[in-house]
Every structure is written in C-alpha cells, then in structure tokens.
Amino acid sequence: MATPSHRRSLRKRRTLVVSAAAAAAGIGAGLIVLNANAASTSVDLSHQTLAAKDGWASSGAGTTGGAKADAAHTFTVSTRAQLVKALGSASDTTPRIVKVKGTIDANTDDSGKKLSCGDYSAGTGYSLAAYLKAFDPATYGTSKLPSGTQETARAAAQAKQGKNIIFRVPANTTVVGVPGTNAGITGGMLQIQSVDNVIVRNLTFAATQDCFPQWDPTDGDSGNWNSQYDAVTLRGATHVWADHNTFTDAPGLDSADPTYYGRQYQIHDGDLDITKGSDLVTVERNQFTNHDKTMLIGASDTDSVGKLRVSIHHNVWKGIVQRAPLARIGQIHIYNNFYDTTELNGYVLQYSVNSRAKAQVVAEDNYWRIPASQKVSKLFSGDGTGSIAGGGNLVNGTATDLVAAYNAANSKKLKTTVNWTPTLTAGLETSAKNLPTELATTTGAGVLS
C-alpha cells in the first residue's frame, strides 16, 4: 500500500522580509523572514496538515498545527532568542508557524554567546566534587534521596539550565525545519504541555543534556543518576504530529560519560516522551538513534486511564537501548517500524517494546534486524499486566511470534488480546519485508523538500 504524502493545505505565498523596526518590536536581531518559501518550487511543509486516518492524531478535528497562521504569526528563526520570541506565550492559542533555519544551539544566551555547565552553576554554590562527597553511599547511605546544601544547589543550577534550554510550544503551532539548512535544535527541549494541535517536523534534535543529574540511591538495586530534559516532551498535550525528525545523543554519546558510585553519570533523559495524560498522538517517519531511554508513554502506572492513545509507524530505531517504546495504560498502535538492534557506539539493546500497567498495544508488520547473539525473547518486555497483540512481525526476514518468544522465557507473561481495534491506519503496509530498504531513505530530518 502506498504511504501518505501529507501534501495538503498547500499555498503559494509571497516572500516578505521583516523591517528593522518590526524586528526590534517583535522577534529581535538576526535573520527573520516571514512567509519565506514562496519563491521556490518546493513543497510548503509549513502549511501541511496530518492526513485523514493517519493514526490517533487524526481523530476528531485532526491535527493542523499552525496551518491557519497569518503573516504576523509566521516566522523563520535561526537563533535561540528568535525561537523563544517566535513561540511567544505558551497560553496564546493564535495559530503560528515557526520555521527553523539551520541549527539552533539552546545553550546560548540572548546575544548568542555559548553557555557552559559552569555558567549555569555559577552563583548557586554547586560543585560536582562537593556533591559526590556529600552523598557518597559509603557515608550518606542508600535509603533516601539526597537532601541538604549541595542537593539544593544542584536543583538551583538545574533550574537555571532549564530556564535557558526549554522551549514552550503553544497550541495551534507548527515547528518545522527549513529544507536544505540542516535544521534542528542542539541541547534543547521542546515542551508541549497542556496544549492542543501541534506539529513538529523535519528537525534534528541532538545532544539534549542535563548538566546536573540527581543521584538516587533508591533507584534499582545499585542506585542511578537521573537527568531531566527530553528532546521533545508531551505532557497533557493532545493532537500532536511528530514527523520526519531525527533524535540522537550525538555528539555527546553515553560512552563518553564518567561513572560515579559505580553507576553511569547519565546526562540524557528521553528522546520523545508522551506523558501526563497526553492523547491522540501520531509519531511517524522519524529516526531514533544512539540513545538509551527513548520513548516513554505514561509517566507512571497511575497516569491517565482513557488517554495515552498513540500511533507509532514507519520509524527507524537504531542503536537504541530501551523504550521503543515503553507503554503504559493507553491504546498504542506500533506498525511498519524498522528496528536494528545491532550494538552501535556502545548502545546495547535491553528490549524494544515494553507493555505494562495494562497497556493495550497492537504491534504489527514491523521488522527487526538482530545479530546472531541477540535473543528474540529480549525484543519484548512487560510486567505481567500489559498486552501486545498483532502479527506479521519479521525478525531477519522471518515471520516470528515475538509475544510467544517472550512468554516462553519469562514468568510475567504478556497478554495476547487487547480491548480495541485500530482503524486509523492510513499507510499501513501488510508486509514488513521491504521496510529496511524503504525506510532508509524516507525517514528522519532532511529528506523532505
């Protein structure tokens, strides 16, 4: 079956350049262009909307983002300061289009000066050496979270960084990369919280890093370092379409991080997390690579019942450790994805799909490429309450019952039936055999024009 083009709501537009006075009043210094794509013959990505029946985000009124934006709310930005001003207030529901030209470094100040972890910790009293001394398990113990002067200072430094690198996206917004410019955001987080109707497309999200992870001795058997800041985070968001983006830790790979208290000093959190009752989300034709905890659906086992409905299709997952995705509670459709579980840059698979907290997952017509050392029983995971239905999944080209393989090796069984039937399945291919070749050139940032 042919995949959808998503080439709807296309308009020819005139090129307008903001005057110096308008820039001073509105967006600030630097390159600011309104309605910038009309002169070329390329497709107008900024006005495209999600196709009918293309996953959960097409439910109801569908997902149109900022397609109705007027000239005053259409921006091209190339710096962090311009991006902040173009997004405006998170409570403003006026349709807007934000076109990202080139790579924006989130760890810069309003003048464009590069900021370091030391700049964020300055004045807070935090130092890593003092923190490590204060909470050494040999003296502090392992039964409680850090508290006291250094933990307070760490939290303050983390908050300073967050204020700089978190970009809050309002409702009815399209954030899209300008073709041919290596568009993306380095070191930042798009926060889509308690808003409806958002589109994020054609962007590379790289090296989103927390300078100040918190030590939690109670996390797991040996404790863990936990960080903040996903590359893109949905919290209570509805009707969100994430399409043709690339997510990567590069160039700051986990293998370069030190070890403290015998545990990796983890500076990365999620790539694309969908939590806090988020609902009606379609994630398609993205590339997820070089990352550990990749996609979390549901922040806890008590997240919102009746929500967390997510469609995940035609994505590439390569060099991913876990959470591709980890699903809780909701109705999740995972189809026509390509998973390459070969170790990459030190990222070693734990599992691909985890269904827990009564999640209702349908996983069909996906393709896994696994090395000879990889056990098929490790591709799925669960807590004994989650379900994974569906078929047509291939492992190295062979039809394989992944649930049966998992259940045969584990005491906490995955359930094999779900309480819903996917109907919003535009573009569903009933054979996965060509996915490795097809998705190699049709996914991720930079392939749209």
User: 323, 328, 356, 369: which is the annotated catalytic residue?
Assistant: 323
What is the C-alpha separation between 338 and 432, in angstroms, rounded?
Answer: 9
Q: Among this protein's residues, is 356 annotated catalytic?
A: no
Residue carrying structure tokens 């996609």? 295
Nearest to 432 by CA among 267, 258, 303, 314: 314
Q: Rounded to an integer, what distance in angstroms lies between the CA atom of residue 449 and that of residue 441?
A: 13
**Per-residue DSSP letters for 332-359?**
EEEES-EEE-S-BTTB--S-SEEEETT-
Q: What is the C-alpha separation between 123 and 211, in angstroms, rounded?
A: 15
- Which tokens go with 257? 């991080």
Residue 141 CB coordination number (10 Å): 10
Closest CA to 132 of 260, 262, 265, 266: 260
Distance CA 88, CA 217 (A): 39
DSSP three-state, residue 108: strand
Which of the 8 DSSP states describes residue 59?
S
3-state secondary structure of 120: helix
Q: Are 242 and 270 in contact (CB under 8 A)?
A: no
Q: For residue 95, what are the CA distances in angstroms to 179, 229, 421?
A: 22, 26, 33
Q: Please answer whether residues 168 and 195 qualify as being in contact, where contact means their C-beta atoms are separated by less than 8 angstroms.
A: no
Pairing label, strands 316-322, 287-293: parallel
Measured CA to CA, the distance from residue 5 to residue 105 in angstroms comes to 31
Residue carrying the six token digits 């990369």: 177
Closest CA to 358 of 332, 386, 334, 333: 386
298 to each of 49, 69, 150, 238, how far by Cα in Å? 26, 31, 31, 14
Q: Look-up: residue for tokens 């959190």?
A: 269
Distance CA 242, CA 285 (A): 8
Q: If we measure between CA atoms, which residue out of 169, 200, 182, 163 comes closest to residue 50?
A: 200
Catalytic positions, written as ranges: 323
